[in-house]
Every structure is written in structure tokens, then in C-alpha cells.
Amino acid sequence: MSTRKSYTAEKKLKIVDYAEIHGNREAARVYNTDERNVRDWRKNKTVLQTMKPSKRALRLRREFWPDLEIELETWIIDQRKESRRVSTINIQMRAKQIANEKCILNFKASHCWINRFMKRRNLSVRAVTSLGQKLPQDWKEKMAAFKLFVEQNIQGIELQQIGNMDEVPMSFDMPSNFTIDKKGSENIKISTTGSEKCNFTVVLCVTADGGKLPPFVIFKRKTIPKLNFPKGIVVSVNPKGWMTAEMFSLWFQKVWKNRKGSFFNPKSLLILDSARSHLTGEVQQQTKSQSRIAVIPGGLTKLLQPLDISVNKSFKNIIRNLWEDWMINGYKTFTKGGNMKKASYNEVCHWIVKSWDMITPQCIKNGFRKSTVEFYGQLKEHDIESVEYEDEDEIEHNVNQNEAPDELIEILKGVDLESDESFDGFD
């Protein structure tokens, strides 16, 4: 059994110099070491020259090309500011390009180096939390104008008559992108029924007092399945499986017009995103006679839509958990070829109702509170407990303030609220 040896950087360079004259094999024989070590040391000669002569290993070493790493880190930050995806392959290619520009020889940008670089620069692989376009350049002005528009149109309207509607795309199979497995496993597979692309749409609507309206599901079919669907859900179908102007009109009639207190309190405000199905002439004419509409400017739904902020993600996570439980323990049917069939329409509707019931009023209130659609002055007319705040000082501030805050007034300076551009996307 051979004894393991270690060499200082000074000794390695001495062996490298000898090998450059007499060859790797002769250097390995003379210095009683492995020829593979000699080859590696010759490849890393530049690194060895930067080490202390007495140092033997490269553990926990500092960067050898600090200028390269600083420029590479700056490039990564700039890419992420533009919400562009950055992978380790992108880092490798960019690092090699910078090395060529700086005339750095023998730089390979190996995966090992990339891992050490990311650790040194506090970088890591992260899961994407949202997809979509970046904020428009004038997003502050549009957000301020929208807030002012809502503030002016909620006077005399009860919180339970202020609603927000949004469509949530779903599929019959909802596998997660992450799982637990043994280290080194090569084939990380998650079983499904093969219906990941079989989609449908769930239309959700919440009110500012924490209330929930029945979910409206649109299946991709021509006829409504003849099944006993659970209570508390409205089922519809169309060939596309998504929201259209006709589906919006149907939702408005069956869900929004049947909300609690709508008969005796006709004044209401409905907050919508700027989807085309919400803005057609027929839809506008129908909704204007029943409710005031506030359309969120394009690109600002992640800031101004309560459902996007606090509800949709929780709702989808609960349904995913129910689907995973069904995959493990649920009753399933199979085709003649032995393939598992997707969950039934009735089963999916039960998941939707159960998930919707698990969304708490506090979660909904937080969405309205964090969406920057603050209901200034409304708290004087309603129970303070209907909206939750962080502390008593914040409650007192909102109760005593009947106008928009100073920062909103500053933003609105110079914005022509009477022009058409200021209310682009509003109704």
C-alpha cells in the first residue's frame, strides 16, 4: 500500500520546471510521484505561481482573477435587473469571453470554478417566483393614477362590494419541479397521468372585507359534464378552456351579480386586469350598468392585484398538494392499455372547492392591503377590524387621514389626470 504524499507549491513548481525540459514521465520517475500529478501541475502552473511557496493545497483559496470575477458579477447583476435568466452555462461562456479580453491564459471556467465563484460572490441557483414582463418605465405615475381613481370611486361603497377578479390557469396534472432523492441519482422522475397539457381555467373573486365568491371553472369541452358537482362552484365549458368575452358575461351574471348584498347595495367596484376579454364593448356596456370597473394598467398586476399578491399562489399550492395526495392514495381508473386516466371533472371540482375554503379572510385582506390599493377614508364608515394593520399607530394613521399620503401627492405632481394617457387601461 503506497503512502499518500503532499507537496508544497515550491516543490511542485520545481517538478514542473524539470518536466518542461525532460518530460512528464522522467520528472515523475526522478521525484517519485505520479505522472498524472505532473500533468495537472503543469496545467495549473499559473495558479501555483500565485500561491505561497509553503502552501500545499488550494482549499478555501481566494480568487486568482479578482478583476474577472468583479466584472462577471456585475454582468450577472445587470442581467437580473432586466429579469433575464442566467444559467451556469451563461456564466461559463461569459467568463471565458472576459478571460480572452483580459488575455488570461489556461482559463477553463470549469464547473468546479463556477461553484467556488458563486459561493464567494453569494450567488446560488434560485427557483423562479414569477414570470412576466418587467414594469413599464412610467409605472409609478400609472400606479399613482390608479390609486387615485380607486380612491375617488369607492366613496359610499361598502368593503364587501369592492371586488377583485382574476383567472388562474390550471392543468389536470400539477407535478412540482422539486423532489427528494438520493445524492448522485441520475434519473429523477415524477409520475403523472400524462395530462400536464390538459388545461382549464379557474376564475376567482374576492372582496375587500375578506369575502370569497364561488369559484367559476371553465373546462375545455363543448358540453357540461352530467355529474353531481359539489356545492359552492359554478361549472362552465368552452372549446378553448379559457376566459372569453362570453365567459366573462356568464361569470358576471352567475357570480358577481349574485354576491351577498348585491340586490340591496347596487353600488360596487370591480377591479380587473387588462385582459382583452374584460375590455370588449359588450362587456363594458354590460358591466357599467351594474358596477363601476377599475382596470389595472398593463404590467402592474403583480403590484396592484390583491389576488396575485396573496391568494393565487396559496390556492395553487393547496390544489397541488391535493393532486399529489390523490396520486398516492386516491382512487384511479385505467385505460385498456393500462395507462392511468386523469382525475375526473368531479374530483377536480372538489379540489377547487376545498382549496378555496382553506383560503383565510386574513390572507385576502393582506392582499388588498399590500396591493397599494389603500381605502383611505373608508375606515371611518366601516369597522376598523375589517382590515388588518401592523400596529395601533398604523390604524390611527389611516383612520385620521382622508386624503392620499404625501408620497402619492409627490408622484402625482406633473401627471395630467384629465388626459386619456393618464387613465390608459382604466374605465
Average pLDDT over residues 240-254: 90
Same-domain pairing of 104 and 161: no
At 196 the three-state DSSP class reads coil
Please say if the pLDDT value at position 388 is more than 70: no
d(CA 9, CA 52): 7
Please say if the pLDDT value at position 58 is more than 70: no
**Would you say residue 130 lies in a domain?**
no
Contacts of residue 184, defined as CB under 8 A and 6 or more positions apart, other chains included, come to none
For residue 84, the model assigns a pLDDT of 79
Same-domain pairing of 93 and 158: no
- As a dihedral over the C-alpha atoms of residue 122, residue 123, residue 128, residue 131, rounded to 10 degrees, the angle is 100
Q: Which residue has the higher pLDDT, 325 or 390?
A: 325
The secondary structure of residue 125, as a DSSP letter, is: -
d(CA 270, CA 195): 34
Kindly report whether the global pTM for this prediction surpasses the value 0.85: no
Same-domain pairing of 245 and 393: yes
Residue 285 domain boundaries: 139-175+195-330+341-423
Average pLDDT over residues 215-231: 93
Single-letter code of the amino acid located at 8 = T
Structural domains counted in the chain:
2
Same-domain pairing of 164 and 231: yes
- CATH number of the domain bearing residue 74: 1.10.10.60
CA–centroid distance for 86 within its chain:
16
Q: In what order do the strands lie in the sheet with 162-171?
A: 234-238, 216-220, 199-207, 162-171, 269-272, 292-295
Same-domain pairing of 115 and 210: no
How many C-beta atoms lie closer than 10 Å to residue 391's C-beta?
8
- pLDDT, tens digit (0-9, with 9 covering 90-100), for 266-318: 688 899 988 888 888 777 777 777 788 888 888 888 888 999 999 999 999 99
Burial 293-315 (b: 16+ CB within 10 A, else e): bbbbbebbbebbbbbbbbbbeeb
